[in-house]
């Protein structure tokens, strides 16, 4: 007798474990008085990343590589996938009904929804997009904040909140596998997408950034533009000292999501200092540095400008830039000491 289920795909084995959906629902049950809006917002973000992934995967074949011919507010050529990712996130978030304000690297100004949604979502829709055409890892970075008065008409200035007000942050890496890194303030968890099932499954829970690593990540091509303190750090970290475990290995993808993810898992340090060409730094505070800083601090790591805690910075503009140094506690301390001229 034929097995009546033989034409259905094999059931998802229970040992596959916890899905992102299960995990977030458990968080809701543990949150006193939660209505489910936050949970729904997170599941909408997850949906948006899977839609973006579907196009990233096809990019090389579906004429999605290359530029749109437009220049964004950053003065950067807009990649077709940048634009697609941005529009997916905006449409999905607005449809969720939970999002009053949206801030994006690809928007000139923060966008207010037509309804007083409870949350603010800030994102870089496709970080590292200059790497798309060379098939290097790229990703979506996001931060979620609660509006102070969710009943009031949304105002774009509400996006200008310090990173310490973040209640959830994460990034989705589109690489050899698709990985969602998420924290809602109770530690950092990593979920890996099973493309056959279309679900993210918990693959690492309560991730901790090691207190010290053996890799450093920065664009050494900017060396001549750095301050003397940062130059001294760069020369020190690649100097020979077996006892101190130097030289560190150098790794640099040129996608914040990729360089930060490696640093989160393996430890070490990522640095994009201010320099004579970018005196305020290159990376954006609200939707790159802040979400990453929130994640690293939740994982026992550190995120600083080189002298100030990233999450304490008071933003004055949506696309404000900042120097960003993040990673292992001890490695970042070495950097801060050199940058301050104390070593």
Least distance between ligand P6P and beta carbon 102 (Å): 19
Sheet holding 302-304, edge to edge: 249-250, 215-217, 269-272, 324-327, 302-304
C-beta of 99: minimal distance to ligand AMP in Å?
11
Give the contact letters, 243-282, x = binds to ligand P6P (CB under 6 A), - = no.
-----------xxx--x------------x---------x
- As given in the structure block, the two tokens for residue 271 are 């640095």
Interface residue list for ligand AMP (CB under 6 A)? 24, 27-28, 31, 34-39, 118, 146, 167, 184
Half-sphere exposure of 326 (CA within 13 A, CB side): 32
35 binds, among ligand P6P, ligand AMP, none (CB under 5 to 8 A by kind): ligand AMP
Q: How far is CA 233 from CA 81, 138, 301, 309, in A?
A: 37, 28, 19, 19
Residue 170 engages ligand P6P in binding (rule: CB under 6 A): no
- Please list the alpha-helical segments (H only) found in 59-138: 80-96
Of ligand AMP, ligand P6P, none, which one does residue 219 interact with (CB within 5 to 8 Å by kind)? ligand P6P
Nearer to ligand P6P, 79 or 96 (CB): 79
State the nearest-atom distance from the C-beta of 170 to ligand AMP, in Å. Answer: 12
- Closer Cβ to ligand P6P, 27 or 301, answer by number: 301
Contact between 320 and 162 under an 8 Å Cβ cutoff? The reply is no
Contact pattern from residue 200 through residue 219 relative to ligand P6P, giving x for each residue in contact according to CB under 6 A and a dash for the rest: -------------------x
* Residue 254 binds which entry of ligand P6P, ligand AMP, none, CB below 5-8 Å type-dependent: ligand P6P
Closest CA to 325 of 301, 338, 306: 306
Q: Which does 130 bind (CB under 5 to 8 A by kind): ligand P6P, ligand AMP, none?
A: ligand P6P
Give the closest residue to 214 by CA, choosing from 164, 269, 157. 269
C-alpha–C-alpha distance, residues 250 and 215, integer Å: 6
Instruction: Report how far residue 39's alpha carbon sits from residue 23's, in angstroms, rounded to the nearest whole number.
Output: 10
């Amino acid at each position: 007798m034929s097995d009546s289920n033989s034409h259905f795909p094999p059931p998802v084995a229970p040992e596959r474990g916890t899905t992102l959906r299960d995990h977030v629902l458990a968080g809701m049950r543990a949150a006193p008085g939660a209505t489910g809006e936050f949970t729904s917002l997170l599941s909408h973000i997850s949906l948006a990343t899977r839609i973006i992934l579907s196009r990233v995967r096809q990019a090389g074949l579906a004429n999605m590589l290359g530029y749109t011919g437009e220049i964004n507010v950053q003065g950067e050529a807009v990649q077709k996938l940048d634009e697609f990712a941005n529009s997916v996130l905006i449409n999905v978030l607005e449809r969720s009904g939970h999002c009053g304000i949206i801030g994006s690297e690809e928007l000139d100004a923060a966008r207010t929804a037509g309804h007083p949604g409870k949350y603010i979502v800030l994102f870089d829709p496709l970080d590292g997009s200059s790497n798309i055409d060379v098939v290097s890892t790229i990703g979506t970075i996001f931060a979620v904040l609660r509006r102070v008065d969710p009943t009031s008409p949304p105002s774009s200035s509400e996006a200008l909140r310090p990173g310490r007000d973040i209640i959830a942050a994460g990034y989705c890496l589109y690489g050899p596998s698709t990985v969602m890194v998420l924290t809602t303030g109770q530690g950092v968890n990593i979920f890996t997408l099973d493309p056959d099932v279309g679900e993210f499954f918990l693959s690492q829970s309560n991730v901790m950034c090691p207190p010290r690593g053996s890799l450093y990540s920065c664009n050494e091509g900017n060396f001549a533009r750095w301050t003397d303190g940062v130059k001294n750090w760069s020369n020190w970290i690649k100097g020979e000292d077996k006892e101190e475990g130097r030289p560190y290995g150098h790794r640099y993808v040129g996608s914040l999501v990729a360089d930060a993810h490696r640093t989160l898992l393996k430890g070490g340090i990522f640095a994009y200092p201010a320099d004579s060409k970018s005196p305020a730094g290159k990376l954006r505070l609200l939707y790159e540095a802040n979400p990453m800083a929130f994640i690293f601090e939740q994982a026992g790591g550190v995120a600083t400008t080189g002298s100030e805690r990233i999450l304490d910075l008071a933003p004055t503009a949506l696309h404000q830039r900042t120097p960003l140094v993040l990673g292992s506690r001890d490695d970042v301390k070495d950097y801060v000491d050199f940058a301050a001229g104390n070593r």
